[in-house]
Structure 1
Amino acid sequence: MMDIMANAVDFQTQLTSIMEMLAKTAIVEIGKLFEENSSLLRSEISRCTNQIESLRQKCHFLESELQTARRTAGKMNGTDAALSHSGLTDTGHRPAIDNVFGKEWCLNLWKHEESNVGQQEDQHLSSAVIIAEPVNLLDEEPDMVMIKEETFEDSSSDKTEEDQNKSLRGAVQEEIKRILPELDLNTLQNMINHLTFVVGVEKIEDLSLVEVTDLQDFLEPIQCRKLVKTFKQRDFFQEFNGQEDGTTNEITLTPISSTESLPEQPFISYYPANSDWVRSFQVPWDRMPAALVQATSNGERARPGPRREFVRIVVAAMQVLCPNPNLAACGEVARHIVSTYPQTFGDISEEGEQLGNGFSCLQRQLKTRVEHVNRDILEHRIRRPRRPTIKRSGHQDSSTMKKVRCKVDSYGCINWQPSAIPDGETPHSLEMKRKVAAEIFQSAGPRAAELPNVDDLMQQTYVYQRHMINSCPPPTISEIEVHWPFLFTERGLCRHFKTLTGIDIRSRFSETFISKAKRILNYFHSQKLKWNGEIQSLLNEIDDDTTASNNNKTAISAILLMMNYFKEKDNALFILADETSTKMSIENELTLPATPRLIMLGDTLLTSSKWFISIEGRVTHSIDNQMDFTAALSVFFGCFYVFNIEYEESASATLELIQRFFVRINPEGTKCTSKSGTSRRTGSAVQRKSQNFNPRVATFLQRLSEFEWKTSN
């Protein structure tokens, strides 16, 4: 009995010591865990404190600026803008998004819809004084300072001003078309937007200050001189201002909106003074190779050999009339050939869709042949030298200061900025639905994007979203995220992209991305010895790597190969981060650029299995772990369109390939309008030529098609 009791005591003693050891170990581990997490928490608190202090100072500054502006405007009207402490009612109050008071995109939306709201809103909008309700961000005192705004004109005066702007814009457009009847609609629209956003034309009188250098990116020299000469004539402004005494009206010249259409007119090609021969040039169809004759009769694609032979024949016929045809003349000849046999000579994708203007590849082939024939004939190669481009200091400053998303960019979009709110909606109801969607996100998080009612709310407020994103100057990504948080989820962004472009990008990527990526891999693998050392080493790395999942590896490999082929650095699109990185650690430890980047989490880019997207130096989208690389790439590419961001010059070729080959968006022009670039041969900065279709992308697609035709036969 005593032995049993002694054993029980020993057991209890051992158990107690074990429990004490476990407790101590647990306390130590808990302490370590707390220290690790508390350091992150302290850094986040410090960062938030700095942001709050910065916002506090900004609010102080904005309040002082606002009060000064009110006093100045009040003195100009003969009365002082008073400060009021009284409360506000909903009567006469225009709906405004919190903390975005005075934003031009918001005011324009309400102003645009005032005449369409209906009789039930007239009593609110006809009030002589409209009061806005600012938010006091500086303290939490119950008595908030209210600032009475200046008297707005009634809806009739707003309508009158809008009519004046439209009348002025229409008059300028008609005058330009009268002077230059051959000018196409897209060039006219782009030129007026350039005059407004870049040059800084604000009133009709400012046109007299426009120089030839401001128009030379859009027009030929003679066209520029005609316009500038007309702009400088005094009668021109008197005619549009309707005044005989020479005084001017303060009428603002507004840019052409993408939603406004110009009257249709027949296309009239423009031929430079030294290219009149193009009008009388006849394509030598009778000398076309037999293989091409058969292809044109059957509506088939021209094979590489007969096509090159026909190019030589056409160039020889052109040089009889002009020894050294310029690119524009080659373009006119190519346009005529493609319009006659579009299926045989046109730039058409394998899905039957036109690429760009449809004749860029043939134009480039004709011009290349011209330069090859004239390579040893100096007198044929000499042309009148171009006049040096002289940029005014003001013009240079405005170009440098222009934000990346400030440009009107409806490239490839079918619903870029709706002109009217949906039927049955009012500005106030749209604002209420925006707040409901934001509250749902705040309470349920990103997964609430799967709810059907959220889809309905985002679809109904689409016009509201576009007016904010397309405003100039544009809101920051942080502002957009605060007011439209569901745009920063995979589902929300892809649905917005579909409404914007008419393309379901997730479906399109999932259908064809892997199969087209395999075609690219086969193209490079089958000609491995043909490529430079960088592509060969990447191909070896792809072959040696067996850890990545098959589809992810195929998709990533295809994009990396294309970037090497175009001589673009992978860090222009991708950023490699540690596999255990979080959103907070990435923002704290990495220097993120302003333009979008796809952050790849893994040991190498090929083995990455989790992805983030960053814009304007912060992580904006987190791709769910259950999704693959194609889902991450679809969200990344969609950001350029949804948030109105131009392609970065250092990755423009790869992005345009994704756009045209994978997503199949094929408008004319390019989404990269940078005027400067980097030479692939020397690495130095060079002037970038404006292009309708990136020649490197066009060349690759043509070579891929020719390679597959040869290997299949």
Structure 2
Amino acid sequence: MEIMHAVDFRTQLTSIMETLAKTAVVEIGKLFEENSSFLKLEITRCTRENESLQQKCRLLESELQAARKTAGKINRTEASLSHGSTGCICVDICTPTRLDTGNCKLYITNTLHACFPDTAHRPAIDNVFGKDWCLNLWRHEESNAAPNEDTNLSSSGVTVEPVNLLEEEPDMIMIKEEAFEKCSSDKTEEDQNKRLRGAIQKQVKEILPELDLKKLQNVVNHLVYVVGVEKIDDLTFVEVTDLKDFLEPIQCRKLVKTLKQKDFFQESNEQDETPTEITLTPLSSIESIPEQPFFPYCPANSEWLQRFQIPWDRMPPALTQATATGQRARPGARREFVRIVVAAMQAICPNPNLAACREVARWIVSTYPLTFGDITEEGEQLGNGYSCLQRQLKTRVEHVNRDIMEHRIRRPRKGLATKRGADEESYVGKKFRNCKADSYGCVNWQPSSIPEGETPNSLEMKRKVAAEIFQSAGPRAVELTNVDDLMQQTYVYQRHMINSCPPPSISEIELSWPFLFTERGLCRHFKTLTGIDIKSRFGETLNAKAKRILNYFNSQRLRWNEEIQSLLSEIDSDSDGTDNNKTAISAILLMMKYFKEKETSIFISADATSTKMSIEKEMTLPATPRLIMLGNSLLTSSKWFISIEGRVSHSIDSQLDFAAALAVFFGCFYVFNIEYEESAIATLELIQRFFVRINTEGTKCTSKSGTSRKTGSAVQRKSQNFHPRVATFMQRLSEFEWKTSN
């Protein structure tokens, strides 16, 4: 029995040790994944610093060799001059009167020939005559001889003290004129380099205004010294892979896309007096630019920012450790630091405005991006990266000033009427476009050229072939390989029609490009347009992230309003709790309840037996896209349609799931240049940033008016870089999962 107990004990101990080892390996893997991005950035920075030091060493070595050669030449020349009698170098001028320059030059030349018969060591005098110092010498002698001119002419035996030109001005004889011109040209090239770097930095700043000064200079230096940009037009050849180590993927795509547009350079050249044709000197002939500290941009009404300092020394210990290791700031430490920063701001300015909070937040995030930046769990930047911190700072300011009326009320702007009048006059004579260029989140919105070997006639021919295939074989022909090739080759033609002004209707697009109104055709077009395979992206993340959202709401039932609690009860009452479609639909509906948005702004419920024709005949469909759910309720729907401009545009195959339907619905906004509807902007932006992971700055809804969620009245909308309710939810979800995981 004791032996059996010992065997059981050993078996249990072995299993426990194996479990502990596996757990340790998993935790080590997580730590490595979290710190891999930080280590990569540090390795890249150290590599760049080493390359810069190597280049500087090579530069100093070349300068040292050049200095040694110059010193050797000077020593050899001095040695040749000192060889023999020193008195033979002197030139005796017999008459101090005005002398002819040519005769003097001939006289001195003959004298030097006599002293230096070897032409290899004879000093050159071509650079002596004609110089200012030489002319002043004769003028000086002439002024002294003017009172006794007649006497000097009659007294030919009178001599003056000999003048040794080599001892008077040795540098003027030894230094060649070409050396002076070379120094001048080097100085000119250096000035041109500075102007070009300034021009490149200005254009990059216009495209990506959120970049801080340090990162901006790193990008400019990389373009000049590594990529090899030698003139400003070379920026059109920059690719995304050239900048992936310095910028986020969306920033790279945005910068490269804008740089490839010729109109951008034309507008910049008209506004900037700097010439575009400026060449750079090679890397070996110029020193590397030292990195400069970051200084925040100060708006005109926030001069106090120039003397404001972030109180880094007062950071909580936990936050100090997080910044040192590159970890995310914990919620409590982050809020404490926000209170400290706001207190320091209010010591100078009692009521900082939103612009000041933005600059302070940008300053903090640029210093510690991994700790304070808006970053997704995949390591991607959300918007400009500091919207959440900006909102926290401003909320704290408003909270502290809630009972101080003199701080809350702002003074009216001076000269507001004059400014408005000037603005109205400035608009006179400007041309306005009738169509909006909705390239939000796209990397290939408007191709600049047709494919190689193609012509407009050949593209039109391929369009007709694709349309004939659709008419003869139907929508299922989209699975054919030749159809995929035809749609890919005519992508430029498709975008040319969709982006035309005035924009075509959905019916006109469907008549010309029927395969765009199939699930496969639209998803492939979306991938070429945005660089994202939306179907696989939803397939990978929709169900997993939907379960996280359901867990977030189920774990805190008592804090939600009646509508959310009622929806949670309805979700629990359904017996089929493992259905992926139900999980995803429930998460979207819960988010709409959370954002206080109506379900009808995205979904339309229809009978399970409805068809495309019956829906168009019996229902009044809105102009903006809708996801039509066929079933007894939204949660139990198993078939879906997409409607645009009052008609059913896409029919989702019954074999596909809700993820495919949601992919087509969301893809329509980008493929057909449709803005988000204001009544569903928060939910659509959450789908964009949380599920699809398109984290571009700004928003796809430019409406200036909207409806209040509280009163239902019409209100004016503020243009925001990142929807505040979406940012708040994503932050709270992350904090909740961190608390529950510990």
Q: Which bracket does the TM-score occupy, shorter chain normalised?
A: 0.5 to 0.7
- Counterpart of 2:170 in structure 1 is none
- Counterpart of 1:315 in structure 2 is 342
- Counterpart of 2:372 in structure 1 is 345
- Counterpart of 1:24 in structure 2 is none
Structure 2 unaligned spans of 5+: 1-197, 210-257, 273-291, 425-431
- Counterpart of 1:466 in structure 2 is 495
State whether residues 296 and 360 of structure 2, in contact with CA within 8 Å, keep that contact through their aligned partners in structure 1: no
Deviation of 1:358 (Å): 0.1
State whether residues 581 and 601 of structure 1, in contact with CA within 8 Å, keep that contact through their aligned partners in structure 2: yes
Deviation of 1:261 (Å): 6.8
The answer to whether 1:586 aligns with 2:615 is: yes
| Aligned mates of 2:611, 2:726 — CA distance in 1 | 36
The answer to whether 1:619 aligns with 2:648 is: yes
The answer to whether 1:294 aligns with 2:317 is: no
| Aligned mates of 1:268, 1:472 — CA distance in 2 | 43
| Alignment counterpart, residue 634 of structure 1, candidates 645, 663, 671 | 663
| Aligned mates of 1:505, 1:357 — CA distance in 2 | 23
Deviation of 1:546 (Å): 2.1
State whether residues 361 and 699 of structure 1, in contact with CA within 8 Å, keep that contact through their aligned partners in structure 2: yes
| Aligned mates of 2:472, 2:440 — CA distance in 1 | 36
| Alignment counterpart, residue 418 of structure 1, candidates 447, 471, 475 | 447
Deviation of 1:277 (Å): 1.2
| Aligned mates of 1:187, 1:515 — CA distance in 2 | 33
Report Cα offsets for 1:438-486 as digits up to 9, x if no partner.
0000000000000000000000000000011111210000000000000
Change in Cα spacing, 1:343 to 1:257, as seen in structure 2 (3 Å) is closer
Which letter maps to 1:545? D
State whether residues 603 and 626 of structure 2, in contact with CA within 8 Å, keep that contact through their aligned partners in structure 1: yes
- Secondary structure of the structure 2 residue equivalent to 1:273: coil
Which letter maps to 1:458? M
- Counterpart of 1:283 in structure 2 is 310
Deviation of 1:279 (Å): 2.1
The answer to whether 1:185 aligns with 2:168 is: no
The answer to whether 1:654 aligns with 2:675 is: no
State whether residues 258 and 416 of structure 1, in contact with CA within 8 Å, keep that contact through their aligned partners in structure 2: no
The answer to whether 1:274 aligns with 2:274 is: no
| Aligned mates of 1:182, 1:418 — CA distance in 2 | 21
State whether residues 183 and 268 of structure 1, in contact with CA within 8 Å, keep that contact through their aligned partners in structure 2: no
Report Cα offsets for 1:616-657 as digits up to 9, x if no partner.
000000000000001100000000000010000000000000
Deviation of 1:273 (Å): 2.6
For residues 417-566 of structure 1, the aligned pairs below 5 Å read 417-547=446-576, 550-566=579-595
State whether residues 463 and 486 of structure 2, in contact with CA within 8 Å, keep that contact through their aligned partners in structure 1: yes
- Secondary structure of the structure 2 residue equivalent to 1:580: coil
| Aligned mates of 1:277, 1:340 — CA distance in 2 | 20
Deviation of 1:187 (Å): 9.4
The answer to whether 1:601 aligns with 2:622 is: no
State whether residues 259 and 418 of structure 1, in contact with CA within 8 Å, keep that contact through their aligned partners in structure 2: no
- Secondary structure of the structure 1 residue equivalent to 2:580: helix
- Secondary structure of the structure 2 residue equivalent to 1:274: coil
Report Cα offsets for 1:371-399 as digits up to 9, x if no partner.
01111111111112466998999xxxxxx
| Aligned mates of 2:412, 2:207 — CA distance in 1 | 28
- Counterpart of 1:355 in structure 2 is 382
Which letter maps to 1:645? I
Aligned length: 464
State whether residues 258 and 410 of structure 1, in contact with CA within 8 Å, keep that contact through their aligned partners in structure 2: no
Choose 540-549 or 380-389, whichever is displaced more. Answer: 380-389
Which letter maps to 2:618? E
Change in Cα spacing, 1:598 to 1:296, as seen in structure 2 (3 Å) is same
Change in Cα spacing, 1:365 to 1:261, as seen in structure 2 (3 Å) is farther
Change in Cα spacing, 1:526 to 1:362, as seen in structure 2 (3 Å) is same
- Counterpart of 2:702 in structure 1 is 673
For residues 29-428 of structure 1, the aligned pairs below 5 Å read 185-186=206-207, 259-260=261-262, 262=264, 270-385=297-412, 406-428=435-457
| Aligned mates of 2:691, 2:627 — CA distance in 1 | 17
- Counterpart of 2:51 in structure 1 is none
Deviation of 1:274 (Å): 2.4
- Secondary structure of the structure 1 residue equivalent to 2:649: strand
Deviation of 1:262 (Å): 3.6
The answer to whether 1:645 aligns with 2:674 is: yes
| Aligned mates of 1:610, 1:425 — CA distance in 2 | 40
Report Cα offsets for 1:528-573 as digits up to 9, x if no partner.
0100000000000000122586101000000000000000000000
Which letter maps to 1:708? E
% identical equivalent positions: 78
Deviation of 1:325 (Å): 0.5
Report Cα offsets for 1:490-535 as digits up to 9, x if no partner.
0000000000000000101111110000000000000001000000
Structure 1 unaligned spans of 5+: 1-176, 189-255, 394-400
Higher Rg: 2
- Secondary structure of the structure 1 residue equivalent to 2:301: helix
Deviation of 1:269 (Å): 6.3
Which letter maps to 1:643? F
State whether residues 300 and 343 of structure 1, in contact with CA within 8 Å, keep that contact through their aligned partners in structure 2: yes
The answer to whether 1:705 aligns with 2:727 is: no
- Counterpart of 1:572 in structure 2 is 601
Change in Cα spacing, 1:368 to 1:490, as seen in structure 2 (3 Å) is same
Change in Cα spacing, 1:548 to 1:307, as seen in structure 2 (3 Å) is closer
| Aligned mates of 2:499, 2:656 — CA distance in 1 | 30
Report Cα offsets for 1:252-288 as digits up to 9, x if no partner.
xxxx999457469999965333201112211000000
- Secondary structure of the structure 2 residue equivalent to 1:692: coil
Deviation of 1:185 (Å): 2.4
State whether residues 595 and 616 of structure 1, in contact with CA within 8 Å, keep that contact through their aligned partners in structure 2: yes
Change in Cα spacing, 1:183 to 1:557, as seen in structure 2 (3 Å) is same
| Aligned mates of 1:655, 1:515 — CA distance in 2 | 18
Which letter maps to 2:638? S
- Secondary structure of the structure 2 residue equivalent to 1:421: coil
Which letter maps to 2:593? N
| Aligned mates of 2:680, 2:396 — CA distance in 1 | 29
| Aligned mates of 1:584, 1:268 — CA distance in 2 | 62
| Aligned mates of 2:648, 2:676 — CA distance in 1 | 19
Question: What TM-score results when the alignment is normalised by the length of structure 2?
Answer: 0.59
Question: What TM-score results when the alignment is normalised by the length of structure 1?
Answer: 0.62
Change in Cα spacing, 1:182 to 1:288, as seen in structure 2 (3 Å) is farther
- Secondary structure of the structure 2 residue equivalent to 1:575: strand
State whether residues 259 and 416 of structure 1, in contact with CA within 8 Å, keep that contact through their aligned partners in structure 2: no
| Aligned mates of 2:489, 2:453 — CA distance in 1 | 10
| Aligned mates of 2:261, 2:634 — CA distance in 1 | 41
State whether residues 297 and 359 of structure 2, in contact with CA within 8 Å, keep that contact through their aligned partners in structure 1: no
| Aligned mates of 1:365, 1:555 — CA distance in 2 | 31
| Aligned mates of 1:646, 1:596 — CA distance in 2 | 10
| Aligned mates of 2:259, 2:364 — CA distance in 1 | 34
State whether residues 185 and 262 of structure 1, in contact with CA within 8 Å, keep that contact through their aligned partners in structure 2: no
Change in Cα spacing, 1:381 to 1:466, as seen in structure 2 (3 Å) is same
Change in Cα spacing, 1:693 to 1:458, as seen in structure 2 (3 Å) is same
Task: Supply the RMSD in Å over aligned alpha carbons.
Answer: 3.0
